[in-house]
Amino acid sequence: MFGFIFPSKNKKMVKKWVKEHREIVSLATKIIEAYEKENFKKAKKYLNKLDNIIIEHLMQEDLSFFKLQKNPDKLKEETIKEINEFIETFGGTKVALMNFISKYAKESTKLDKEFIKTFKILVGIVADRIEFEENNLYKVLAKE
């Protein structure tokens, strides 16, 4: 009844995650732009910020979904299905993304041509994933 005045915990969480998604996309764009201008120092700075945000974001998502899965009787069946699908389909991509970024975020690792080639591919995959999350999982979760 008063959802528009007092948003649910899930709605607040989804709003926070959407904001983080925007920051992730913005940083990814800045990394590509800095790299293409051969400003590798700036690209590395943005990459380190991205590394921190992604780690925090993914950990919070995982923890939140774990808690929600522990109390499935409090959720609609559609929401449980979306959470399980998210967990099952994103695991491999998440690990690859985190390993890639942590490798190149190290001060000793140079941002070479292989980096930018792979980074652009990962950005495309992550952008698609963000769109999927926000249009499916986040929508049902925010209604809970």
- The pLDDT of residue 2 is 43
**Do the beta carbons of residue 21 and residue 130 sit within 8 Å?**
yes
Q: Which pLDDT band holds residue 88 (cuts at 50, 70, 90)?
A: confident
Read off the CATH number of the domain in which 59 is found: 1.20.120
- The pLDDT of residue 81 is 87
Query: Per the domain annotation, does 4 fall within a domain?
Result: no
Distance (Å, whole) CA 25 – CA 71: 32
- The pLDDT of residue 7 is 57
- The pLDDT of residue 30 is 98
Q: Which pLDDT band holds residue 3 (cuts at 50, 70, 90)?
A: very low
- The pLDDT of residue 92 is 83
Q: Which pLDDT band holds residue 101 (cuts at 50, 70, 90)?
A: very high
Query: Per the domain annotation, does 123 fall within a domain?
Result: yes
- The pLDDT of residue 77 is 85
Residue 89: both structure tokens together: 């389909």
The whole domain housing 115 covers 9-142
Q: Where are the alpha helices (DSSP H) in the chain?
A: 9-36, 40-70, 77-105, 113-135, 137-142
Residue in 49, 54, 21, 53 with CA at minimum distance from that of residue 105: 49
Query: Per the domain annotation, does 1 fall within a domain?
Result: no
Mean pLDDT of the chain: 89
Q: pLDDT tens digits for 4-59?
A: 454 588 899 999 999 999 999 999 999 999 999 999 999 999 999 999 999 999 99
Query: Per the domain annotation, does 2 fall within a domain?
Result: no
State how many domains the chain has: 1
Region of poorest pLDDT, from 11-15, 29-33, 70-74, 139-143: 70-74
Distance (Å, whole) CA 132 – CA 130: 5
pTM for the model stands at 0.86
Per DSSP, the three-state class of 111 is coil
